[in-house]
Structure 1
Amino acid sequence: MKAVLLSGLLSVSAVFAYADPLPSWQDADSKARIIDFVRSVTDPQGMDYVTPADRIAVFDNDGTLWAEQPVYFQLIFAMDRLSEMAEADPTILSSPVLEAAAKRDVQAIAEGGHDALIEVINASHSGTSVDAFQVAVEEWLNTAQHPETGLNYDAMTYQPMVELLRYLRDEGFRTYIVSGGGLHFMRVFAEEAYGIPPEQVLGTYSASTYETLDGKPAIVKSPGIAFIDDKEGKPINIERTIGRRPIFAAGNSDGDFAMLEWTTAGDGPRLGVLIHHTDAAREWAYDRESPIGKLVDGLDKGPDMGWVIVDMAEDWKRVYTGSD
């Protein structure tokens, strides 16, 4: 009886030991390279073993962990919020840019460039406490739907990447978001969507003040951007905030190039992963000419630096967490 029980336990252990950690990935080179890397750095008997304290993995968000087309989801939130605010106080629409944003005219904002984007963010994000702002983000996520997919925005996270995050944590990694998106915006959903707690979310943040609102102390979001967590800002923010150079980094655009370059330039085993949006049928296909998620340097230089270039159409069995 004991022998039968022991045999059964061993069989169950064998199943779990060989269970596929990335079931939404095709059994192709990208998946194999990621798994081989993780196994090599977590094998205490191997030459490439990395202690758990140094198993740091960083991920971009827009276009890497969730979708980013036709525009960044935070901009859609900003336009929706501005439209709602204008219903209560029309005088808030004090410029043609803000009038266009309230009408959700993305083209007009794009033509205005960086200055127009900042104007929209300032008007829709500032003058409120962080707590009140995050309540507004949560309410929006619970109700707003993407105009093309009909899915809630937080249902458009990528199932293969959610699995990758879970797999890395199961193997002793700490996973961080390092994104150009707004810090307070992403912290609302990151833990539920990705299993990443707020303190492990790095992003762009606005100026802020410490004030008393309705008799209670509060952190208030002010106009102006204090730090942009994009391009070279990403490794700077990682070093400043985490204090360790990651050994694994994933992104999807040239805004992530410096983060992957800095990560993989360190000593010892390291891996960079780029998500290449090639799937026009299930998502969108874009790279070199796209105003959102432009990818040129990563495609041209990444392979020579040993990065894994994930072909979304070929490497993923499934795209969104919220759809089959």
Structure 2
Amino acid sequence: MKTKKRILAAVLIMALLTALTGCSTYPDVTIDLTTGEVRIGDQAAGDTQAKYNEAEPAGVKGELLYWSEDSAAAASIRDYVAEVTDINSDKYIPVEDRIAVFDMDGTLIGELYPSYFEYMMFIHRALHDDTFEAPDDMREFAEALEDGVYGGKVPDNSELLHAKYAGQAYAGMTVEEMRDYTRAFMQTEADGFTNLTKGDAFYWPMVSLVQYLADNDFTCYIVSGSSRTICREVIADWLPIPDNRVIGMSYSMLASGQGDTDGLEYVYSADDKVILGEDLIIKTIKMNKVSAISQEIGKVPVLS
């Protein structure tokens, strides 16, 4: 008799859930007929994520979230991942060759608040940071850059000029200090948006895509024209990409006690710290981005 009552109670619960969710398919419900405990899964039937699960081919792991259900692009991504992860497919790609590379600004995170994250942080450093006194030529460029990003026309050759002056602006910081500085700037408001910080201005569908690929054994990299150190901190809380898979604009690095001694002669000591130098090694844009991929990854990506 008790068992019948428990079954009846479970049926009533499922009926209520159907009425509340507006779905004819029941959620994941488990009934323990010994104790009468009814356990309900976290997701109700009809939930978008559950529909994604149903749509994914067997063998594909994870979910592609925040994309429209009728998105042709999302469908092509799912089909592609299903093919290249199916060992019986003629398009199968071994795990070690599943390399995907992503730009950061404008691809994973916004670049219109009102410009690139690193441009806005440099402007702040050169013009609005009371702890730093910019030299006259740096200040002059920063003022022109600020006028340009708000006025719609940045100075000519701004990419290389920014690379030059940004190196000078952060020179002497340890890597940890630079990341802390980046983290603090991430907490500032994204211009032109309400209730959004610069560090949270990610495109959620693209974040989901990176996770989806990682779930299916793709090795994902960031390959950005922005500073490698800045990129590492910006993505740290958002993407399953470790520091050693972030490629970006790079500067010289020195020991804190090195002074003008060449790195071929100076020996790092226990009291030293690694600090940022001001000499630009590479600005990873255009062909430089291709050469950096070749040098640092050593394989041609299958997705970019």
TM-score, L = length of structure 1: 0.65
SS of residue paired to 1:207: strand
Q: Report the equivalent of 2:125.
A: 81
Q: How far did residue 116 of structure 1 move?
A: 3.6
Letter in 2 for 1:18: E
Query: Would you tell me which structure has more strand in proportion to its own residues?
Result: 1
Q: Report the equivalent of 2:82.
A: 39
Q: How far did residue 204 of structure 1 move?
A: 0.7
Letter in 1 for 2:237: E
Within-5 A mapping of 1:107-118 = 107=148, 110-114=154-158, 116-118=161-163
Q: Sequence identity of aligned pairs in percent? A: 25
Q: Report the equivalent of 1:219.
A: 274
Q: How far did residue 182 of structure 1 move?
A: 0.5
Task: Give the one of 18, 22, 25 matched to 2:54.
Answer: 18
Cα distance change, pair 47–119 in 1 and its aligned pair in 2 (3 A)? closer
Contact kept in structure 2, 1:41 and 1:50, CA below 8 Å: yes
Task: Give the one of 146, 153, 167 matched to 1:105.
Answer: 146
In structure 2, runs of 5+ residues without a counterpart are: 1-27, 31-40, 42-49, 57-62, 259-268
In structure 1, runs of 5+ residues without a counterpart are: 1-6, 250-324
* 1:93 counterpart = 2:138: no
Q: How far did residue 22 of structure 1 move?
A: 2.0
Q: How far did residue 112 of structure 1 move?
A: 4.9
Q: Report the equivalent of 1:208.
A: 253
Within-5 A mapping of 1:287-302 = none
Task: Give the one of 242, 245, 251 matched to 2:297.
Answer: 242
Q: Report the equivalent of 2:105.
A: 62
Q: How far did residue 168 of structure 1 move?
A: 0.5
Q: Report the equivalent of 2:218.
A: 173
Give the structure with higher Rg (CA): 2
Cα distance change, pair 111–191 in 1 and its aligned pair in 2 (3 A)? closer
Q: Report the equivalent of 1:263.
A: none
Q: Report the equivalent of 2:13.
A: none
Q: How far did residue 28 of structure 1 move?
A: 2.4
SS of residue paired to 1:217: coil
Q: How far did residue 23 of structure 1 move?
A: 2.9
Deviations 1:172-224 (A, max 9, x none): 11111011110000111323111211111110111222233997322221223
SS of residue paired to 1:149: coil
Cα distance change, pair 204–81 in 1 and its aligned pair in 2 (3 A)? same
Cα distance change, pair 78–40 in 1 and its aligned pair in 2 (3 A)? same
Contact kept in structure 2, 1:98 and 1:119, CA below 8 Å: no
Contact kept in structure 2, 1:56 and 1:247, CA below 8 Å: yes
SS of residue paired to 2:186: helix
Within-5 A mapping of 1:178-197 = 178-197=223-242
1-side partners of 2:270 and 2:140: how far apart?
34
- The higher relative CO (CA closer than 8 Å, separation ≥ 6) is in 1
Q: Report the equivalent of 1:266.
A: none
Q: How far did residue 167 of structure 1 move?
A: 0.7
Contact kept in structure 1, 2:99 and 2:220, CA below 8 Å: yes
Q: Aligned pairs, how many?
A: 236
Moved more, 28-37 or 58-67: 28-37
Contact kept in structure 2, 1:154 and 1:193, CA below 8 Å: no
SS of residue paired to 2:275: strand
SS of residue paired to 1:225: strand
Cα distance change, pair 220–41 in 1 and its aligned pair in 2 (3 A)? same
Q: Report the equivalent of 1:316.
A: none
Cα distance change, pair 184–89 in 1 and its aligned pair in 2 (3 A)? closer
Deviations 1:9-64 (A, max 9, x none): 9xx9xx68526622311222211111111110001111111111111111010100
TM-score, L = length of structure 2: 0.69
SS of residue paired to 1:187: helix
Contact kept in structure 1, 2:249 and 2:283, CA below 8 Å: yes
